[in-house]
Structure 1
Amino acid sequence: MVKETRLQRYARAPWRGFCLGLLSWPAMLIYTAVLTALSLVGLGIGILLLPPLLMVTRNLMDTYRRLIGKWTGIQIDRPYLPEDEYKPGIAGQTQRFVKLVSDPATWRELLWLMLDPIVVFFTASLPFYLVLYGIYGWVLSAGLGEVIGNAGGNDWYGFVHVHDGYWEDPAKVISTVVLGAGFIVVGLLTGPAMLNVYGRWGNSLLGPTESSRLALRVQHLTETRSDAVDASAAELRRIERDLHDGAQARLVAMGMSLGAIEHLLDKDPEKARRLLSEARQSSAKALHELRDLVRGIHPPVLADRGVGDAVKALALDHPLPVEVNVEVNGRPEPPVESAAYFAVSEILTNAAKHSGARRIWVDMRHEDGMLRITVTDDGHGGASLDGGTGLRGIERRIGTFDGVLALNSPPGGPTIVTLELPCALSSPRISPS
């Protein structure tokens, strides 16, 4: 995304404020509908009508949160308490109604719907109307002042009296031009500041309270703990399966071969020699499989050299050309390193199998307390987090550490996968020579 220049930010702020002001019209309609539904609760109809209306309200509030975050830089989290499973029928509708009306976010949003048309006019939208009023002054100075006045319009512009003979008074014309320019300049210069004030107003009512923030945090920790337990169980099953089907089977076969060799040493030395050769080959394969298994659990290069060098080692073994850039002055905690390494490994594997790419770029850096990893390929794009893909598994893996995954993969490519894991760095640990 191209970063705005200061000039662009000042020029766009009034129009953005105007757009936020336009949202107050559907907001007032929804507010009226919600109040009507609340008035019908006593008749029972409101219990059925209110939940769908509150869902519409939440969608509109999500639009506010997204625009405020995009245009002011003030990110507002969704404040809603976790949803429950509801019974079917009237009982479930009643449970949902009670859950929604007991959520503090519902009443804070109703307060927003009531006050925002006034607040937005005097904050975010005000610079737009100042600019518009300034342009109106220029229109008056262009000779339309008398026409507007004769048609019944206001014959004052600020402190300048626009009346018959106005065009014949150069001082009044110049005053109108200067005054209009002043309104335009003030509107443009105050636009970003007014948007920021509006963003803080939005964060005060549309953001989570401490109770809802705590509830959301508990829900997130519960989900990530469950994901971590499931991932650990799946990893243990994989290790057990690999040991049973691989190295264990070879060691059992090798033991049987050694037993046969004991009986053949005196009777058939030649056959015993062949069995010894096969046993030696089986031991080498078993050792190789055990090493691969250990690498799959925790690669030695990751333990010795850190995640940066471990990813570079992955790149060397990858079937596609992979360019790796690492700017990490230190090492995260071992669990974070492991999660980041296996996440990158899975992404590189997916790119080789499904992307049709010719090159891959990996950028790894530590900024603002975050380990940020970006993997880009020049493939055909179209990757998705839906449908139980490997990317969803990666998202769950790093979610255990409060990490997030962002995917940008338009049709035609490129595909950009960004990982962010909060972590602190320790001093680099170098393996002894």
Structure 2
Amino acid sequence: MTATSSSAPGRADGTDQLPPIRPAYEARTWKEILHLLLNLPVTVFGFVYAITALSVGGSLTITVIGLPLLAFGLLGARQLGKLERARARWLLGVRVEEPTPLPLAKSGGPMQRLWMALRDPVGWRTMLYDVIRLPWGVVTFCTVLTSLIVLWPVLPYLARGLADVDRFMVRGLLSPSDELERRIAELESDRGVVVDTAAADLRRIERDLHDGAQARLVNLAMGLGLAKEKLLEDPDSAAAMVEEAHGEVKLALQELRDLARGIHPAVLTDRGLDAALSSVASRCTVPVKVTVDLPDRPAPAIEGIAYFTVSELLQNISKHSRARSASVDVWRTENRLLIQVQDNGRGGARLEAGTGMRGLAERLGAVDGLFVLDSPSGGPTVVTAELPWRDRTE
């Protein structure tokens, strides 16, 4: 009797054999392996950069260049962190939001910008990340390189575990600051804007007093002194001098009223935004329609910012717009005070054009406000401003 033999599938010799277990090398796995192999050169560069920046900047802090060098190093660390977040997004699929840029352009003087850079938590965390990653980079590079040769079947699982540690580090040290930290940085910048604005206003008031009312009062005192000397000798000349001095007094009083109105107008304190803005609109060179729809008055500080914002915008319309008419609308929406100023002039206004628009935007930003300018060439120009509503407390 002839024995019949059956062979296992795929085998000609009849030997039973199961297919080998092959780990899944997907695209994601290869990206993780590439990331782990790149860890060594990347971490070596980051470690050298961080140690150099810290040692050079720290050792030279006793000189005038030490702190600027350290601040520059922290700003550079921010850029390294940006590259690491990009590498993690591409190879590890980690979606980490970019930190808020330091508002150095909005800050005041060089010392304030230097202090802000030195206190940057994002830069310091990136420095820490670069320092502690060196031994980890060596471990991951050696482990993956060895596994490519001798641990091929388990490499996907090993790569996944090592990559998860990298994901944890990126999220923990390179993620953006929390909301409180963001607000602290913004408020520090806004405080500098407020301080600079207040200092500029004080200089303007001093200049206006010195060149205007003060000079006029000095001339008035001299004229009255001459009139006193001629009172008995030449009464007619003395009377003419007194008459001239009377005119100087009127002009000085008008200049003082204008200056006081520029500091804080009495009509705003006594009667609110509707009357104050109507008064400003009456002095504009083009007809202005004012509409104020407010259930009650906001806090004095918000009311003052709204008044001076509209006042400066109407001055810009008088000087630059060549408009035939304009309008001012003020209303409240939930917890926001909205202002819209529109004119039918030539348009083309820009925040950077030197017409005071950028200063207005910075002032509003200092109190959590917004400033939006829409001014296409040919017009019309529409400026929308928002301020936080704060209730008035008597």
TM-score scaled by length of structure 2: 0.60
Give distance in 2, aligned partners of 1:410 and 1:57: 41
Work out whether 1:80 is the aligned partner of 2:100: yes
Unmatched segments (≥5 aa) in structure 1: 1-29, 66-76, 87-94, 103-204
1:386/1:56 CA distance change after superposition, 3 Å: farther
Structure 1 equivalent of residue 217 of structure 2: 251
Q: CA deviation at 1:50?
A: 5.2
Give distance in 1, aligned partners of 2:205 and 2:267: 20
- SS of equivalent to 1:44: helix
Give distance in 1, aligned partners of 2:128 and 2:342: 42
Task: Assess if the C-alpha contact under 8 Å between 2:81 and 2:126 holds in 1.
Answer: no
Deviations 1:186-211 (A, max 9, x none): xxxxxxxxxxxxxxxxxxx9xx9895
1:293/1:42 CA distance change after superposition, 3 Å: closer
1:37/1:360 CA distance change after superposition, 3 Å: farther
- SS of equivalent to 1:335: helix
Give distance in 2, aligned partners of 1:58 and 1:380: 49
Structure 1 equivalent of residue 41 of structure 2: 40
Task: Assess if the C-alpha contact under 8 Å between 1:79 and 1:213 holds in 2.
Answer: no
Structure 2 equivalent of residue 18 of structure 1: none
Structure 2 equivalent of residue 231 of structure 1: 197
As a proportion of its length, which structure holds more helix? 1
Work out whether 1:98 is the aligned partner of 2:118: no
Task: Assess if the C-alpha contact under 8 Å between 1:38 and 1:50 holds in 2.
Answer: no
1:368 aligned to which of 310, 321, 334: 334
RMSD between aligned residues: 4.0
Give distance in 2, aligned partners of 1:266 and 1:58: 95
- SS of equivalent to 2:213: helix
Give distance in 1, aligned partners of 2:368 and 2:88: 25
TM-score scaled by length of structure 1: 0.55
2:186 aligned to which of 205, 220, 223: 220
Percentage of matched positions with identical amino acids: 42
Where do 1:282-431 residues align within 5 Å? 282-426=248-392
Structure 1 equivalent of residue 19 of structure 2: none
- SS of equivalent to 2:232: helix
In our comparison, the structure showing a higher alpha carbon Rg is 2
1:366/1:40 CA distance change after superposition, 3 Å: same
Aligned amino acid, residue 312 of structure 2: E
Structure 2 equivalent of residue 273 of structure 1: 239
Deviations 1:31-85 (A, max 9, x none): 999777545314428979955645868999xxxx9xxxxxxxxxxx974374888
Q: CA deviation at 1:363?
A: 1.4
Unmatched segments (≥5 aa) in structure 2: 1-30, 50-75, 105-112, 115-122, 131-170
Aligned amino acid, residue 40 of structure 1: P
Give distance in 2, aligned partners of 1:240 and 1:79: 42
Structure 2 equivalent of residue 260 of structure 1: 226
Give distance in 2, aligned partners of 1:58 and 1:246: 63
Give distance in 1, aligned partners of 2:282 and 2:306: 18
Aligned amino acid, residue 300 of structure 1: A
Task: Assess if the C-alpha contact under 8 Å between 1:322 and 1:359 holds in 2.
Answer: yes
Give distance in 2, aligned partners of 1:250 and 1:100: 63
Q: CA deviation at 1:297?
A: 0.8
Aligned amino acid, residue 398 of structure 1: L
Task: Assess if the C-alpha contact under 8 Å between 1:329 and 1:425 holds in 2.
Answer: no
